[in-house]
């Protein structure tokens, strides 16, 4: 009986091309640069509320002046866009949320301040009622129910006020049905045809948003949960359906949110739709990594690795609280 021939060496030595940094660079498949980052910032109108957010160490609520300095920093670091989240006065939150479309609310003032300071920096906004809603929900609440169509009307007013203030990209994060079509139509009709929409298309009902709700002062307020409008974390087909719908209604770009636990969705969205695809590495993901970094349980390299993973999964860019730190590491 002939014994099987076993070569005395491996048939393929993949380690050959991993041997030196230059050889590795030659076969590197994915890149990450500052151009892939969108930096989310929190801006407060409440005296004394500025400063570090306890559940997001290293991230601060900024004053308007702080927001201007952040914009200058973003421009210096070649970060193309900043995304504004308002922290508004608790006393001024109401059930009718009228401050959401007030031209002088803190979000709109921040848009103007940044556009005056660094006109070329792209300014993205968030469209949802939660920062101005007394019960912390993204839509109007009547008898415990989140109203869809009435909310969409309010979101349109909010969007027009943001466009008027100079926003380049609107980010509807509310998950009401029909909002992208309504926003797109209103922008066209009101003379804002060049304002882009980055739809939070595949937004899941996630526990990873906790620290964000602290940051915008919505935590103690939220009555119930957001499961009647955000997607069940197990639902992949529904997420793809939301993306298809939002693109049909006029979204220029789409987002998957949260990010790291949803990289499968990112890949599928990119492959299926071949449109600009973004992910949001949300507050809870930031808190996990930054908390571990601060305890010396993980090295700072996890920031780069986590962002690179989004690129590998097909994302054109990532909203990340690590944006300035990572842009500095890459510079
Ligand atoms: C709300 C909104 C949320 C985030 C962005 N916009 C929270 C939520 O849906 O409750 C979360 C972002 C983050 O966690 O970093 N419209």
Which atom of ligand 1 is found nearest the CA of 230?
A: 9
> What integer is the mean pLDDT of 218-239?
92
Structure tokens at 20: 């030196």
Hey, which of 39, 88, 155, 212 would you mutate to test ligand 1's pocket, going by the most ligand atoms within 8 Å of its Cβ? 212
Per-residue pLDDT, 2: 67
Cβ atoms of residues 283 and 56 within 8 Å: yes
**Alpha-helical runs (H) found in the chain:** 21-26, 64-76, 106-117, 149-165, 179-189, 210-215, 236-249, 263-273, 283-294, 301-312, 323-330
The CATH code of domain 32-330 reads 3.20.20.70
Cβ atoms of residues 206 and 282 within 8 Å: yes
Which atom of ligand 1 is found nearest the CA of 126?
A: 6
- Is 115 assigned a catalytic role? no
Burial class (CB in 10 A: 0-12, 13-18, 19+), 246: buried
Per-residue pLDDT, 219: 78
SS3 at position 55: coil
Which atom of ligand 1 is found nearest the CA of 174?
A: 16
Compute the Cα dihedral for 14, 19, 24, 26 and give only its sign.
negative
- What is the average pLDDT score of the chain? 96
List pocket residues of ligand 1, CB cut-off 6 Å.
Answer: 126, 128, 130, 138, 173-174, 209, 212-213, 226, 282-283
Residues whose CB is less than 8 angstroms from the CB of residue 135 and which lie 6 or more positions away in sequence, other chains included:
95, 141, 221, 222, 223
The catalytically annotated residue of 68, 93, 115, 203 is 203
The catalytically annotated residue of 93, 226, 257, 270 is 257
- Is 226 assigned a catalytic role? no
Residue 52 phi, psi dihedral angles, 5° rounding: -65, 140
Cβ atoms of residues 246 and 254 within 8 Å: yes
Question: Does the pLDDT of residue 88 top 90, yes or no?
Answer: yes
SS3 at position 28: coil
pLDDT tens figures, 160-211: 999 999 999 999 999 999 999 999 999 999 999 999 999 999 999 999 999 9
* DSSP code, position 133: B
Decide: pTM greater than 0.90: yes
Q: Dmax over Cα atoms in the chain, in whole Å?
A: 89
What span, in angstroms and rounded, lies between the C-alpha atoms of 154 and 297?
A: 45
Which atom of ligand 1 is found nearest the CA of 281?
A: 15
Query: Which residue did the predictor score with more confidence, 5 or 327?
Result: 327
What is the distance of C-alpha 118 from the center of its chain? 21
State ipTM.
0.98
What span, in angstroms and rounded, lies between the C-alpha atoms of 85 and 120?
A: 19
Per-residue pLDDT, 5: 78
Question: Does the pLDDT of residue 1 top 80, yes or no?
Answer: no
Structure tokens at 52: 């570090």
Cα–ligand 1 centroid distance for 216 (angstroms): 9
Hey, which of 138, 140, 261, 262 would you mutate to test ligand 1's pocket, going by the most ligand atoms within 8 Å of its Cβ? 138
SS3 at position 97: coil
The number of residues making up the chain comes to 331
Per-residue pLDDT, 218: 81
Which atom of ligand 1 is found nearest the CA of 210?
A: 14
Cα–ligand 1 centroid distance for 71 (angstroms): 21
Q: Residue of the nearest CA to atom 11 in ligand 1?
A: 209
Cα–ligand 1 centroid distance for 211 (angstroms): 9
Question: Does the pLDDT of residue 4 top 90, yes or no?
Answer: no
Of the pLDDT bands very low, low, confident and very high (cuts 50, 70, 90), residue 237 is very high
Residues whose CB is less than 8 angstroms from the CB of residue 6 and which lie 6 or more positions away in sequence, other chains included:
none
Cα–ligand 1 centroid distance for 138 (angstroms): 9
pLDDT tens figures, 20-35: 999 999 999 999 999 9
Per-residue pLDDT, 254: 98
Report the DSSP beta bridge partners of residue 38.
Answer: 81, 319
Residues whose CB is less than 8 angstroms from the CB of residue 9 and which lie 6 or more positions away in sequence, other chains included:
none
pLDDT tens figures, 92-135: 999 999 999 999 999 999 999 999 999 999 999 999 999 999 99
pLDDT tens figures, 284-312: 999 999 999 999 999 999 999 999 999 99
Pick from 108, 93, 89, 201: nearest CA to 140? 93
Per-residue pLDDT, 222: 86
Hey, which of 154, 219, 281, 282 would you mutate to test ligand 1's pocket, going by the most ligand atoms within 8 Å of its Cβ? 282
pLDDT tens figures, 141-154: 999 999 999 999 99
């Amino acid at each position: 009986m002939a014994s099987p021939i076993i070569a005395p060496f491996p048939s393929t030595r993949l380690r050959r091309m991993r041997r030196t940094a230059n050889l590795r660079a030659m076969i590197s498949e994915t890149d990450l640069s500052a151009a892939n980052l969108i930096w989310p910032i929190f801006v407060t109108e409440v005296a004394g509320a500025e400063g570090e957010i306890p559940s997001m160490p290293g991230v601060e609520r900024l004053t308007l002046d702080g927001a201007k300095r952040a914009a200058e920093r973003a421009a210096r670091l070649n970060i193309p866009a900043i995304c504004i989240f308002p922290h508004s006065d608790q006393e001024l939150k109401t059930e009718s949320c009228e401050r959401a479309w007030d031209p002088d609310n803190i979000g709109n003032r921040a848009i103007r301040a940044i556009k005056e300071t660094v006109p070329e920096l792209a300014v993205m906004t968030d469209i949802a009622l939660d920062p101005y809603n007394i019960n912390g929900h993204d839509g109007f609440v009547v008898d415990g129910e989140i109203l869809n169509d009435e909310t969409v009307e309010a979101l349109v007013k909010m969007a027009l006020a943001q466009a008027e203030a100079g926003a380049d990209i609107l980010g509807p994060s509310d998950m009401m049905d029909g909002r992208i079509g309504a926003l797109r139509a209103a922008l066209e009709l009101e003379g804002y045809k060049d304002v882009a929409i980055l739809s939070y298309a595949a937004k899941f009902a996630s526990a990873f948003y906790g620290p964000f709700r602290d940051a915008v002062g919505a935590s103690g307020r939220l009555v119930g949960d957001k499961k009647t409008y955000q997607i069940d974390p197990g639902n992949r087909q529904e997420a793809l359906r939301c993306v298809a719908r939002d693109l049909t209604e006029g979204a220029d770009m789409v987002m998957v949110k949260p990010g790291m636990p949803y990289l499968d969705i990112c890949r599928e969205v990119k492959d299926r739709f071949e449109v600009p695809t973004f992910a949001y590495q949300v507050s809870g993901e930031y808190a996990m990594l930054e908390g571990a970094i601060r305890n010396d349980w993980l090295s700072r390299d996890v920031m780069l690795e986590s962002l690179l993973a989004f690129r590998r999964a097909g994302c054109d860019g990532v909203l990340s609280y690590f944006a300035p730190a990572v842009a500095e590491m890459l510079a």
